[in-house]
Structure 1
């Protein structure tokens, strides 16, 4: 993709299945990548690997500073750290609800907040947050996850409007089902028909590499007029 060769990108949630695919794709494009996760990622081709808790403001400030020093600045952020919980809402524990929002919504806020000063100082940057079909479509037993992803979506739109005039493009990528261990575990525990998978008109889940290709596009110069967008990469789930 045009504009990614030599780009300096920080990826949070980099050690998950989608995160690893994103890192691999960015490496292929010639970007320099700093990978961040709760435990230090071990992947080939990294310019920097950082362990940090995205829910800790102090930890994210320190981790971002480490990544920025290693990269020589940060041109782009891919904020994808998140967790999921599935349960009937009347049985959902408050601690679980708070944890899902803390990692998904607060963690995204802290990641974005930590890179904004550097992006403002250098006159621009690109931010991709990770929403979900749950941010725009109703689904049972996903109250915490839907709340977190809905918050991420609206937060991203706000950031996009606030900083567009200062050279920063923010967009929210909303995947549908992706072939990951997390989704496989959810499917295995599902009782009754798999309406989620059946709800994808394309007839399948995405491979992580397919989501990574959309990330690559949104970080590149090819998407220069895409701003504040809800980018659905969901195999048609949201229109089914």
Structure 2
């Protein structure tokens, strides 16, 4: 992909299955990556691995400063940190609802807030957030998750229009089902575990590497006119 070589990139949520695939792809493309997770993730080829709580503004500011020192600045943010919860709305406890929004929505906001001053100072930057098909399409039992991912999408759109004329490009990638241990565990609890998979017209879930390919494209110069978009990478799920 054009423009990824040497790109100084922070990836939050880097320790998960999709995060690891994203980091691996970016490193292969020549990007210099600072990998964030609650505990420093063990990943090959990264410039630094940093433990960070994306819900804690002071801790995140410390982590971003550490990454900026290691990288010599920050050109791009991939805000992947998030958690999942599924329950009927009338059984969903408030603490769980708040925690899902705190990690996904507040964490995305704080991550973007932390990197924006440096991007503004250098006159360019790229912010890619992680939404979901749940940001645009309802499903039973996903009130907290859908609310969080819908907020992520709107945060991203707001940043995109606010800073487009200052050289910063923001987009939101919205995956469908991805083959990860988390989704396997969720499917095991479903009634009819293949139901969600069957609603993907392509007939399968994506592989983490396919999401990583979309990330690479959206950070690259090849997507220079893509701005404020909800990019569906979902095998047709949201179109069906």
Q: Flag whether TM exceeds 0.5 (same fold).
A: yes
Deviation of 1:196 after TM superposition, in Å, equals 1.3
TM-score normalised to structure 2 length: 0.99
Runs of 4 or more above 3 Å deviation: none
Matched, 1:204 2:204: yes
- 2:43 corresponds to: 43
Alpha-carbon deviation of 1:163?
Answer: 0.2
User: Mind listing any 5+ residue stretches in structure 2 that lack a counterpart?
Assistant: none
SS at match of 1:36: strand
Partners of 2:187 and 2:193 within 8 A in 1? no
- 1:187-198 residue pairs with structure 2 within 5 A? 187-192=187-192, 194-198=194-198
The Cα of 1:192 is off from its aligned counterpart by: 3.2
Matching of residues 67-78 of structure 1 within 5 Å: 67-78=67-78
**Which range moved further: 50-59 or 192-201?**
192-201
For residues 1-240 of structure 1, the aligned pairs below 5 Å read 1-192=1-192, 194-240=194-240
How many pairs align? Answer: 240
- 2:99 is paired with a residue whose SS is helix
Task: Report the Cα distance in structure 2 between the residues aligned to 1:192 and 1:175, rounded to whole angstroms.
Answer: 21
Distance 1:205 1:192 in 2: 16
TM-score (norm 1): 0.99
Shift of 1:47: 0.2
Q: In structure 2, what is the Cα distance between the partners aligned to 1:195 and 1:57?
A: 39
Q: Structure 1: which 5+ runs fail to align? A: none
Distance 2:124 2:80 in 1: 20
